[in-house]
Amino acid sequence: MAGEFSTIGLIGKYGESTMGETLVHISEELAKYDCSVMLEDETASKISNHKLPTASLEKIGNECDLAIIVGGDGTLLNAARNLIDYNVPILGINLGRLGFLVDISPDEIGRRFEELFDGKYEVEHRIMLNMTVEHQDGRISKNDAFNDVVVHKWDVARMIETETFINGKFLNTMRADGLIVSTPTGSTAYALSGGGPILQPDLDALVLVPICPHTMSFRPIVIDGESKIELHVKDSTDKAQVTCDGQTNFSLVSGDKVIIERKSRVIRLIHPCKHDHYEILRAKLRWGENF
């Protein structure tokens, strides 16, 4: 019997050539445990020859006990932003290269599902960010981020100038290509490329990483996860933009204010038993290999 996970939503990567085959395989495996399965609308529109009932992300959030994400880390990031307010646990099936977040390969689905429905799995809690832009013309823009919120330049040839405040206290004025505000999850993404530290994923902390700062003494800073970060856009000569998880963008101009805070809800990731984040780090970052 399905037990704890009786109604399951399936969300796939759009355009992935093997998506349909993998989703059918997953639904057949889930049928062994008497699960009700819903296929997300947009995913369903991209594949054929399925006989699964379809549902919106909202319905999956409201009615499912588990969301299974099929694709890569980017697919899971998008799903996490859409499902965070519904408190649905997420499990990732990896169709691409080894992922930090999607850690079950298609050829082990049968064995991993058997463990899942036997209660043999691990739950990991990850923090997310809420981003609000208070535009100087009075408009408000909002979005969430699982990896990072990045304020960055629009014009490749120019820097932007921002003032940064943490919990209302002035940190600095920065001229740079931009600033990354990252969760521990995002510390192995853009923040790592920018020279930031790798944070243990379940920490309640944030890291600020400057992108090519004009002042070389401005180094990455790790702060408490409950901190409120404000970035004031000061440069009036060029447009800037703010990006959430590299997937959603909002334009910025001089006078705009970007406010970044931890969301009150957390993402619950379901992992196989004996999940080892450090093993994934070694494989992804190729630690210990001879070049």
Contacts with 244 (C-beta within 8 Å, 6 or more apart), sequence order: 81, 129, 131, 143, 144, 145, 148, 149
Contacts with 42 (C-beta within 8 Å, 6 or more apart), sequence order: 14
* Token pair belonging to 210: 């400057």
Q: What are phi and psi of 92, to 5 degrees?
A: -110, 130
The H or E element that residue 193 is part of is helix 190-193
Q: Which of 95, 188, 199, 193 is nearest to 147 (CA)?
A: 188
Say which of 34, 41, 65, 73 is annotated catalytic: 73
Q: At what angle do helices 109-117 and 19-31 cross, to 10 degrees?
A: 40
Going by their DSSP bridges, the two strands 36-40 and 54-55 should be labelled as: parallel
For this structure, is 73 an active site residue? yes
192-195 long-range contacts (CB < 8 A, ≥24 apart) are 194/220, 195/220
In contact, 22 and 52? CB cutoff 8 Å: no
Between CA 46 and CA 60 the distance in angstroms is 18
| Bridge partners, residue 224, by sequence | 205
The H or E element that residue 11 is part of is strand 7-12
Between CA 9 and CA 22 the distance in angstroms is 14
Q: Catalytic residue positions?
A: 73
